[in-house]
Structure 1
Amino acid sequence: MLKVDHLSYSYKKIQALRDVSFELQPGEIMAIIGANGAGKSTLMKCIAGVLRPSNGHVALNGEVLPPRAHEVVKRRMVLVPEGRWIFPGLTIEENLEIGAYTVSSSAEGKERAFSMFPKLKERRRQRAGTLSGGEQQMLAIARGLMANPEIIMLDEPSLGLAPLIVNDIIRIIQEINRKGVSVLLVEQNAKKALAIADRACVLEQGRIVKRGSGKELAADESIIQSYLGGK
């Protein structure tokens, strides 16, 4: 479904990604874990067309994607960025309508978003900047779903959230996947990410150094010591 082929990217003299290749299959959750600065967010931005890679390409359903973000969204692949990037001065409903910019109608997407996030429906005319961190993350995910994606990319969705809210976000990710949306997940909480992932990759210094099923990597001694807090 999604094929990332020999992707590289540099910030001037700093090599952020080095020859990264992997595939995301239809209907699966794939997690990418790694330390801060490993290149995870850069990878997501390159796939989404926000950054232009220095080498390699991204293909969706066999078609190479142009490195332009709006074209990627039109092909039903969206990025929910790290930090949420909602529009705080706009209402919840207005934020959602912006997410539907590339589709002909926002009504169906809004109905879908409100059914999944009933709290947002209750506060649809509330300014987004007044929401809690968890509610803002839910809004960011709902806004991404407005484009009716086949693939949703989630960059650090639990960052800065309380443990109970993190559990809610993980549950929401699983629900989205059950509805037929493939998920590419970058997540600081490696334990929770690997627990729901069909497959996973470990990114270190811009390279993929390990890959396997979520269960395999969760049981890998080196992964346990490096990312899961030891035994």
Structure 2
Amino acid sequence: MNSDERPVGRSWLRNLPLIVILCVAVAGYLTLRDELSFETLRAHRDALLAFRDENLLGLAALFVLTYVLIVGFSLPGASVASVTGGFLFGLALGTVLNVISATIGAAAIFTAARWGPGTLVSGRLETSGGRTGRLMARLRENEVSVLFLMRLTPVVPFFLANLLPALVGVKFRNFLLTTALGIIPGALIFTSVGVGLGTVFDRGEMPDFSLLWEPKILLAIAGLCLLAALPIVIRAVRGREDP
């Protein structure tokens, strides 16, 4: 192998984790979308509850591992997993386990993307001039606020909110912090749905997520978004006032 081929080989190896994630995500969507469902949970509810009563720590560990794999490989069923956390462990412990699992899975995608194409893409963006260079500079100034907004606004798919920060070179500690804190509101909502899931199943129904669009929920999320955006507004105003 000559010297020209080695960088290509190394580049391929660095991209391998992200390639594996994308391939598993596609395969999972095609094969597991009907398996990781509320129907499956309802069919196995008695066995899961019995196992929980006998081995709470074991089930919690298995739950976290499963949820991390779902998020880390972008498999279908993340919302089912979040609701399951509330169903099996209650609001407090379920929310904690949901947040920990989703954060670890998000960190795995971020790391794979950063280790692969992220370094190259962010390096090129950093050295580019013009409008792109100015946008990157503003992102650096408001990194935490922008990441919080990505987590709080439901219009940004979770996978993209994990991938894009790695490609533009945000700091890992800021990504981890804003992920862990920014997903708490959503985790609380989905976990609370799971707390009453047994009653819903007994009625022969499926979970109702219409509460996500209730005014009190939307207003709370809007308030958090405004709070996250406040530092950006303050810096923008100060920038205009500077001579």
> Which structure ranks higher in relative contact order (CA pairs < 8 Å, sequence separation ≥ 6)?
1
The TM tier, using the shorter chain, reads under 0.3
Q: Whose helix proportion is higher, 1 or 2?
A: 2
Q: Whose strand proportion is higher, 1 or 2?
A: 1
The structure whose Rg is larger is 2
TM-score with structure 2 setting the length:
0.26
